[in-house]
Structure 1
C-alpha cells in the first residue's frame, strides 16, 4: 500500500505540471516543477538529457546545470533563480534547441523515423499494432522487438514492411531533397505541408509524381513555449539577501538574445531515388507559389543524388 501511494505521488509530480501551472490548493507547489515543469520548462529531466546526449554525441555543451542548482531558492512557493544567472538559464533552452536541430530532428534521423512509421502502418493490418493503444497489458510490449518480428517474418503480407526495415539496415534511406525555414511572418498561420502540396506543384509537362512517392517532415523547434520567451515565465531574485521575486524583461540583460523563439523547418524526401530531381523542382515551385520566392538556402545535393542512382542501378 505504501508503494502504491508512493507511485501515485511520483505520477502526480510528473503529470501535474504538464499544463501552464499546477492547479488547486496543493502544499509546496514548487515540488511539482522539479521533474516535469510545464510552467516554464526548467526541470531536472532537461538537466539530465542535455548533458547526457551532448556527451554521447560528442558535442560541446556550454550549459552548466550546477550553477542553476546552486543559485536557486524558493520564494512564495515558487522556485526562483538569481538574476545574475539569466544568461545561464537561457543557455539551457538554447542547448535544448540545438540538440533538436542537430540530433533529434536531424534530416537522416527523420528519414529513419518516416520509414519506420511507414513500416508500422503497412504492418498494422497483420499485427494489429493500433489495437494495443487502449490495452496497457499489451501496449507495454510495443518495443524494438516488433521490428525484429517484422524483419524475421516470412508472411507475404508483411513483405512491404520487411523491405522497409531492410532498407533502414542497409542505410538505403528515403532520399533527402531539400528544406526551408518558414519565414517569420508566416509562422503564426502556418499549415503543415503535405505530399499532396508537392505533387500539385510539379510542372504539368513533367507530371510524374504521386503522393506515395513523397514524404514530408514538418519540424518545429522552439525554446519550449512556442514563439514566446520562456524566461518571461521565470521569477528571479536580485541577490541572496532578497526575499522578493522579480521578473526580467526582454532586452534588460542583453540585446544579443533572439527576438523570435521558434523555427518551423519543412523537409521533403522522396522514397524513390530516381525522383530526386522531380521532387526537388516541385518543392521549389511550392515555395514560390506559397511565399513568392524560393526560400531554401542551398541547392539539392546533386552529388549525393548521382551516387545514390549509381547504387541503385
Structure 2
C-alpha cells in the first residue's frame, strides 16, 4: 500500500503503513497498535471510481479496522506529538532560538554569514543547520543578555526545569482562536502583578482523525465480496452506533515562564478570568507543584532562572 489513500473528495488521508512506522519507531514495546495494517493492505484494491478516476479502495468488512487506524493516529498525537511536556519543550526551544537568533550564525554561499532566522534563505547555510544547534548555542561565546537567556532556557530543558503548567480549557465556539485568548489574558492580568503577557505561553492543541472536524472514513471508497469492482461509501451509521460523534478536539494550554509563586497564582487568576470573559469552559488548573520548596516559590526570579527543585510540566 502506498503512503496515502485518496478519498472520494480529493482529500489525502494518513495511510496505515505511515501510522504503523511512526508507532513502531517511537513506541515499540510501550504501546500496542490497535489496528491490523496487514489486513488493510491485504484487502485493498485499485478501482476506477466513476467520475473520480483510480482510487485505492478497501474491503467493506475492514471499515472497523480503518476506524481503529485513525484512533491510533489520535492516540499518537494525544500521548506523544502534542503531549503537554513535548509541547512545552517545543515552546522553550523556540524561545531559546529567538533569543539566540542574532548571535548564532552559519556561513552560506560566498562566505556570507546568516543568523538563525535567515538560514533558510541560503541552501549552503541551511545544510549546516542540524540538531547540533542546541549545543552550538550552549557553547557560544559572548555575554550579551539575549544569548545568556537562550543558554539559560536550554540548560533548564536539560535539567527538566520546564515552564510551569497552569491549566487547560476548551473553546465553546469556533471563532475563539489563540490570538483571541491572548488578548483576553492581557486584559485580565491583575494590577501591580509581576506577571506580564510575555511570561505566559499558550499552546493550541488540535487532535483530529486527520481531516479537521470531518470523518475521514466517509471519504474512503469500499468494495464488497460480491461486487469487487464497484466502489461505494459506507456511512458511520452503517458501521456502529458506538463510533465517535465528533472528530476534532481543541484545547488551549497555558504555561508560565516565570518560576515565582506570585506570578503563578496570578496566572491562574488571569486564566480563569479570561475564560469567563470569553464564555469558555472553566479551566482545569493545577495547584502549585508540591515538589517546590515553599520558600523558593515565594521568591521573585526576575531573570527567569528556575529555583532549585522547579517542577517538570
For the aligned pair, the TM-score class normalised by the smaller chain equals 0.7 to 0.9
Q: Is 2:242 the counterpart of 1:270? A: no
Q: After superposition, give the CA deviation of every residue in 1:188-247 in whole Å (9 maximum; x if it has no partner).
A: 32311454432322344x643212211111111111100000111100001275210110
Give the TM-score normalised by the residue count of structure 2. Answer: 0.81
Aligned counterpart in structure 2 of residue 189 of structure 1, from 175, 190, 215: 175
d(CA) in 2 for partners of 1:14, 1:129: 33
Does residue 251 of the first structure (1) align with residue 228 of the second (2)? Answer: no
Structure 1, unaligned stretches of length 5 or more? 1-12, 22-37
Distance in 2 between residues matched to 1:154 and 1:292, nearest whole Å: 46
Cross-structure match for 1:280: 268
Q: Do the aligned residues in 2 keep the contact of 1:199 with 1:209 (CA within 8 Å)?
A: no
How far off its partner does 1:147 sit?
0.7
Q: What is the match of residue 55 of structure 1?
A: 28
Determine which of 185, 190, 195 is the counterpart of 1:198: 185
TM-score by length of 1: 0.81
The alpha-carbon deviation at position 43 of structure 1 amounts to 5.2
> 1:125-274 to 2 correspondence within 5 Å?
125-127=102-104, 128-157=115-144, 158-183=147-172, 186=173, 188-193=174-179, 195-204=182-191, 207-239=193-225, 242-274=228-260
Larger fraction in strand:
2
CA distance 1:211–1:305, shift in 2 (3 Å): farther
Q: 2:19 aligns with which of 14, 22, 46?
A: 46
Q: Residues 165, 78 of structure 1: CA spacing in aligned structure 2 closer, same or farther, 3 A cutoff?
A: same
Q: Assess, with a 3 A threshold, how the Cα gap between structure 1 residues 67 and 104 changes in structure 2: closer, same or farther.
A: same
1:263 is displaced (CA, Å) by: 0.9
> Out of 64, 73, 83, which is 2:60 matched to?
83
Question: Equivalents in 2 of 1:250, 1:126: separation in Å?
Answer: 55
1:98 counterpart residue number: 75
2:12 is paired with a residue of what secondary structure? Answer: coil
CA distance in 2, matches of 1:283, 1:245: 50
How big is the shift at 1:119? Answer: 0.6
Aligned to 1:116: 93
Q: Please list every run of at least 4 consecutive aligned residues from structure 1 whose deviation after the TM superposition is greater than 6 angstroms.
A: none
Q: State the 1:290 CA deviation.
A: 0.6
Partners of 1:242 and 1:225 lie apart in 2 by 27
Question: Partners of 1:293 and 1:228 in 2: how far apart?
Answer: 23
Q: Pick closer, same or farther for the CA change 1:264–1:304 going to 2, 3 Å.
A: farther
Return the structure number with greater helix share: 1
For residue 80 of structure 1, give the secondary structure of its aligned residue in structure 2: strand
2:178·2:202 contact (CA, 8 Å) conserved in 1?
A: no
Can you give the 5+ residue segments of structure 2 that lack an aligned partner in the other structure?
49-53, 105-114, 298-305, 309-313
TM-superposed CA distance for 1:306, in Å, is 4.0
- Label 1:175 to 1:243 Cα distance change in 2 as closer, same or farther (>3 A): same
